[in-house]
Amino acid sequence: MLRWEAPITASPRRKTVLALALTLAAAVASLPALADTGSELDAAKARLESARAALTRVTQEWQQTESRLAQAQDAAAAARAQIGRLRDELASITREFNDRVAAVYMSGGSLSMGAVLTADSLQDASDRLQYAESVVQGDADLANEVSVRTEELRRQEDRLREAAEQQAAQAAELEGERDQIAAKVDELNAVVEDLRAELDSQQQAQVGLGVVVRSGAIQTCPVAGPNSFVDSFGWPRPDGRTHQGTDLIASAGTPVVAVAPGTARPAGSIGGLGVTVQHPNGDWTFYAHLGAYGTLGAVSTGTVLGTIGSQDVSVPHLHFEYHPNGGAAIDPYSLLLGVC
C-alpha cells in the first residue's frame, strides 16, 4: 500500500550551517591563488628594490666623485693663484737684488771700503760703515728671500701638477660612472615598465609604482618617474661652494613636477633651465638642470614644471632645493624619502 510522506525540508539552522560550509570551501579553494598573488607581489617588490639599490650605489659613487673633482679643481685653482703671486714677488725681489749687486760692482766691489775712504770725518766714516754693513746684510736677506720664494714656488708647482693629475683621474672616473648610471637607469625603467604590465593598479600601489601625495611642505616627489638620490647636501662643489640641495637621477625627458601648490617662475641655473616655486606659506623650492619648461604661473601639487635635461650636466638629473620661510636652503633628503 502506498503511503504519502511529507518532504524533508532544511531547518533555518541547517541552512546557515550549509551556507557557512560553502563559504569556507570557497575560501579554502582560493588560498593557493591568494598565496600566489602574495608571492608575486613579494617578487615584484624584490625586483624593484634590487634595481633601485643598484642605481643608488652608483649614484653614491657619482656624488662622491663629483665632490673629489670639485676639491681637485679648487686645489688646482688655488695653486695657480699662488704660483702667479710667487712669480710676481720673486721677480720683484730678484730685480732689487740685482740692483744691489750692480751697485756693489760699480763701487769697486766693496761698499764698506768705499764708505771709509770717502768719509769727511771719523764720525762720518763710522756712520757710512754702519750703513754699508746694513746694505750688505740687506743683500744677504734678499738672497735668502729669493731662495725661500723659489722653493715655495717649486712646491706650489708640484701641488698644481698633483691637483691636475687628480682632476684628470676624477674626470675619467666620472665618465665611466656616467655610463654605469645610464645603464642602471635604463635597467630600473625596464623593471618598472615590466611590473606595470604585470600588475594591476591596486598591486602597483602595493609595490610602490604609483604617485605618492602627502600633506606638508613636500607633498610629492619632484621627479615623476623612476629616480635615485642620496644625501649629498653640503658636499664640496667647485669654487669653494657646497651642495645646497639633492640631486635626483632620472632619464632625460622625465617630468619634473611641483612638490606643493604655488607660483612657478623661470630662474637662473648653473646648467640648463631653472624654475622656482613660491608657496603660500612663505617656503620656496628650486628645480635646476631642466631641458624644457612646462607650466609656469599658478601650479598645483604634481603640475609639470618641465623635464629633466641632459645638457651642461655629467649625468641627467634634477637639482632640487627646499627653502623654508624664504630663508637658506635646508637638507630635503628626509622629506624626499617619504614621497619618492
Q: Where are the domains of the chain?
A: 46-190, 211-337
Cell numbers that stand for 131 in this block: 750703513
CA-closest candidate to residue 137, choices 102, 106, 163, 112: 112
Please give the chain's pLDDT, 340 residues, in tens.
Answer: 333 344 434 444 444 333 433 343 343 333 344 335 778 899 999 999 999 999 999 899 898 888 888 888 888 888 888 888 878 877 877 777 666 655 554 554 444 445 444 544 444 444 444 544 455 555 566 667 777 877 887 887 888 788 788 888 888 888 888 888 989 999 999 999 999 999 998 899 888 888 899 988 999 999 999 999 999 999 888 888 888 999 999 999 999 999 999 999 999 877 889 999 999 999 999 999 999 999 999 999 999 999 999 877 889 999 999 999 999 999 999 999 999 9
The residue among 311, 88, 55 whose CA lies nearest residue 182 is: 55
CB neighbour list of residue 226: distance below 8 Å, 6 or more residues apart: 185, 188, 189, 192, 250, 251, 254
Judge whether 46-190 and 211-337 match in fold.
no
CA–CA separation, 95 vs 274, rounded Å? 52
Q: How far apart are CA 290 and CA 252, in angstroms?
A: 9
Among the four given CATH numbers 3.40.50.720, 2.70.70.10, 1.10.530.10, 1.20.1070.10, the one describing domain 211-337: 2.70.70.10
Chain centroid offset of residue 121 CA? 77
What the block records as the C-alpha cell of 19 is: 551556507
Q: What is the pTM of this model?
A: 0.69
What's the confidence (pLDDT) of residue 1?
34
CATH number of 46-190: 1.10.287.620
DSSP state of 212: P
